[in-house]
């Protein structure tokens, strides 16, 4: 072999070894192809990086298969990919509802994820009936935000539609803690195992934007939420610093924050799809942590 070929092979091996594989997971009513553009851009910026589309819970399945079940499905899918492509460590890049499922997975399993990026995930839940939701779920059309808890906190409905799993009505907080089968467990439960698992991450990144037209309140994506101690209609937005999930360090967010291993950041003017459809946003905010 000539020295050129040896160098060339060495370079290719270097590229292949340099970047960790990226596993993706899409949001509600999406599918794996939501990440097609990001895959192209990854090939451009990080040649040789394995960028894996995740063909689970597509379209209507993502709406009607409850989130506790999706967490298990995600775990199985990640194990399949690790076996198929023979890697042990990877990154997770997740959008919207998928980003909430990804976090729950990272708390629940002895994972091997290095960096986790949450792109506008409803981490503190959803409280708002937006046009977007209504488009995909027309039966919600005339259900007002303030009435929705009567439906979403019914046990049967918890297992029927995923929005119910992260519906967070600040004026019915006790009911939420008691009846919701998903979000309270991951945001309000002191669980050493959750903490141990989540803290295996090197870095957790949570992005949100006031330009988001889907997540309500948009601050939920960066662990902000209304003060649930206020009376109904008395809206006081509290940042993550005043949330129990952070102050009580339920799954290590605070500890990791103090160690500079958490980035919680709002970026102006990014609409909900912008995180997966805009090259500039991807290159500036996600790519630096997908190394």
Ligand X SMILES: *[C@@H]1O[C@H](CO)[C@@H](O)[C@H](O)[C@H]1NC(C)=O
Q: Would you name the residues annotated as active-site residues?
A: 96, 212, 272
**89 or 269: CB nearest ligand X:** 89
**59 or 85: CB nearest ligand X:** 85
- Which residue shows structure tokens 């977007």? 132
Shortest CB 146 distance to ligand X, Å? 16
**2 or 86: CB nearest ligand X:** 86
Q: How far apart are CA 230 and CA 213, in angstroms?
A: 25
- Are residues 272 and 213 in contact, defined by beta-carbon separation less than 8 angstroms? yes
Q: How far apart are CA 209 and CA 265, in angstroms?
A: 8
Shortest CB 138 distance to ligand X, Å? 7
Shortest CB 143 distance to ligand X, Å? 9
**84 or 280: CB nearest ligand X:** 84
Rg (CA), the chain: 19
DSSP assignments along 225-287, one per residue: EE-TTSPTT---EE-GGGSHHHHTTTTSHHHHHHTT-EEEEE-TT--TTHHHH-HHHIIIIIG
Residues within the interface to ligand X (CB under 6 A): 86, 141-142, 227, 229-230, 238, 242
Q: How far apart are CA 145 and CA 101, in angstroms?
A: 23
3-state secondary structure of 64: helix
Shortest CB 17 distance to ligand X, Å? 10
């Amino acid at each position: 072999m000539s020295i050129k070929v040896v160098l060339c092979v060495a370079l290719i091996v270097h590229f292949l070894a340099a970047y960790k594989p990226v596993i993706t997971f899409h949001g509600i009513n999406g599918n794996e192809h939501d990440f097609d553009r990001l895959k192209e851009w990854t090939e451009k910026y990080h040649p040789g990086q394995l960028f894996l589309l995740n063909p689970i819970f597509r379209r209507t399945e993502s709406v009607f298969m409850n989130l506790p079940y999706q967490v298990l499905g995600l775990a199985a899918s990640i194990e399949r990919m690790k076996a198929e492509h023979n890697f042990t460590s990877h990154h997770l890049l997740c959008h919207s509802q998928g980003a909430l499922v990804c976090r729950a997975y990272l708390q629940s399993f002895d994972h091997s994820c290095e960096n986790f990026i949450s792109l506008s995930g409803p981490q503190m839940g959803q409280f708002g009936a937006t046009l977007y939701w209504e488009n995909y779920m027309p039966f919600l059309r005339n259900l007002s935000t303030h009435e929705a808890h009567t439906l979403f906190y019914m046990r049967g409905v918890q297992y029927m539609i995923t929005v119910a799993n992260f519906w967070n009505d600040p004026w019915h907080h006790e009911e939420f803690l008691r009846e919701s089968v998903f979000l309270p467990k991951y945001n309000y439960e002191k669980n050493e195992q959750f903490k141990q698992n989540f803290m295996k991450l090197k870095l957790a990144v949570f992005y949100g934007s006031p330009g988001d037209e889907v997540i309500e309140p948009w601050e939920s994506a960066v662990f902000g939420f209304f003060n649930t101690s206020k009376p109904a209609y008395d809206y006081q937005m509290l940042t993550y610093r005043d949330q129990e999930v952070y102050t009580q360090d339920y799954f290590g967010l605070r500890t990791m924050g103090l160690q500079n291993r958490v980035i919680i950041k709002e970026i102006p003017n990014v609409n909900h799809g912008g995180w997966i459809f805009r090259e500039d946003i991807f290159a500036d905010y996600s790519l630096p942590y997908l190394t």
